[in-house]
Structure 1
């Protein structure tokens, strides 16, 4: 590049800086000379379709809010403000000075979306979650239930992750050169009240699971499955008959990010799962039947009202653990859910066999170089599960210690009633 041309470009850059004009704004104006660039709405509709179902469901609210606009939303906790999540029209001093408005961005070119607009969307996500949590806590208090955290940090983190994903995609395909989402900050997570089950809580927990509800057999088997495998919730919903390996005493779990792993289990659990599937799912779940379908679900709802059994959905977890929390005050205090059973299983395995075995048992993906060198083997995980359940496993000798999980009682409770 010759010297005069270089000086002209330097002058242009200085002029842009002096007036606070970004490169994306300049690019947008230049693109406008030949027609409007790709809008946020057009790009969003195309990219959402490429996500997995669970990720799309997680990000959808934050992304649609960005397209449709929201607010104004304030940070006030007064009764009038906390009773609405559609926008605040209160005129108290705190409201007037804290309202945040997000204009609809659906028809705005991607190159024109700014950091401040994304920041406003994150603030609104947090405030809406806070108000909804406040409403829910008032209802819980009326029923004598413990209050839940209402800080809204989880909603803000989800919004940040959604916007980072969207604009990273836009940059990678060449629609923008500068990413307005890259500097969004994720709120620091609060200390969680959630914890593992204490030894003296196993019996009352499973008593509560089996002692109520309209399908104690399903609920007990489901909790047994999670307590022994440490599986995530989607591991239960997505469990299929073809993933049960009886001779090897292994279950293939398909969970987060569609990653799969083989998990050692007791023969009693596999037998109970197989029997439940055959009883409710019929020949399609029976390996000896010509109608056997490897993709048939393992967990099924009980038949009712003349209707056949239906495959388990995630909704069962919600109703099950809402009932447990309503029954056990300590479970209500820590908001105990299926993830608490995963937490419990991981904690027990770590105490029995160490961190590396627990990491493999839980299927955690984060790895360091040291993790690669010291990764636990399948046999080590099987040994930990054998000690956990007090039952033998083909990969290890018979355990000599009593079980931590009450396998025999669970086997009795999860069978047909």
Structure 2
């Protein structure tokens, strides 16, 4: 084999003119499947969260490109499908111009090509979805709610609907712990630790963490489990309707639709459950600093040049101390008693009835 520099330069020039890289030459061509044949493999290899987020988009991709091979779709065709889905989207209360539709469609296409490349069906550089610009995210309109707004929401939650007890429990759970909606829906009957007043949250990116909760909230969750569930720790869903069936995201949709009917500013500003998370984390940040707020939110510690930050992550005791001050209710893990001047806007939780 010749290693003459002139030969090597000529080979590199030829590869470049062909639009290839040396890595592409390592790829062994194979018969490519169609989207209709391959996307089901992508779905089968995906996690529950990805299926829930991208399932509808993978279905539309099969409908549009089903008979095409993976190497036959162009960036322009992907962008065209993205525009059509945005134009034909269902307009919801929190619509923001179809940004999430475009973003999710593109992410679904990229997932297909990334897996095809990992499966050695395509060379590393063949990813037309990667050539489509990702939609620029708009600044979020969510922000912390004021005490009067939280009080108005609490009043509306506790005095309306056919199951105010459940809605009140949901409202306090999110306002107190700042958990995401997915974290609440994933709660199991064995995720309650009553002795130290902790609940175990399973949230996005498969994170699992213990979060402090007030004795009042823990007692209400245990009461809920006793009357609507199995009455003991099990791996089954915790939050349930009166008939014992687990709740899902539709419970939240109906709750905020009702709140919007009673409080016009809720609809006008597209207030949702996530605003409660903003409210709590803002209060924690202002009173206990960004490090404790980050731990309270369950966010991973950011990478930085501040080596000291690695050693100063907040403990559960730090989070419990902040919670005690926020709810103005003592917590068994708090290092100091709750001071005066908390945010006493939480609705009173009545004992659950069978």
In structure 2, the partner of 1:379 is: 317
Match of 1:55 among 38, 42, 50: 50
Q: Equivalences for 1:287-298 in 2 at 5 Å?
A: 293-298=233-238
| TM-score for the superposition, normalised by structure 1 | 0.75
Q: Does residue 238 in structure 1 map to residue 186 in structure 2?
A: yes
How far 1:226 sits from its partner (Å)?
0.6
Match of 1:339 among 274, 285, 289: 274
SS at match of 1:375: coil
Q: Does residue 125 in structure 1 map to residue 85 in structure 2?
A: yes
Match of 1:401 among 322, 325, 340: 340
SS at match of 1:394: coil
How far 1:107 sits from its partner (Å)?
2.6
How far 1:16 sits from its partner (Å)?
4.3
Gaps of 5+ in 1: 70-104, 137-146, 287-292, 304-308
Residues 14-67 of structure 1: CA deviation (Å, up to 9, x unaligned):
7746xxxx79xx99xx95xxx742222222110111222231121122222222
In structure 2, the partner of 1:153 is: 99
Match of 2:113 among 143, 167, 171: 167
Residues 157-176 of structure 1: CA deviation (Å, up to 9, x unaligned):
11222222221121122111
Gaps of 5+ in 2: none
In structure 2, the partner of 1:176 is: 122
Indicate the structure whose relative CO is greater, using CA pairs within 8 Å and at least 6 residues apart: 2
Q: CA RMSD of the aligned region, Å?
A: 2.6
Residues 347-392 of structure 1: CA deviation (Å, up to 9, x unaligned):
1111121111111111123621345344222211111111111111
| TM-score for the superposition, normalised by structure 2 | 0.87
CA gap of 1:112–1:373, structure 2 versus 1, over 3 A, is farther
Aligned pair count reads 342
Conserved? CA contact 1:195–1:334, under 8 Å: no
SS at match of 2:88: helix
Conserved? CA contact 1:228–1:405, under 8 Å: no
How far 1:5 sits from its partner (Å)?
7.4
Residues 74-108 of structure 1: CA deviation (Å, up to 9, x unaligned):
xxxxxxxxxxxxxxxxxxxxxxxxxxxxxxx2232
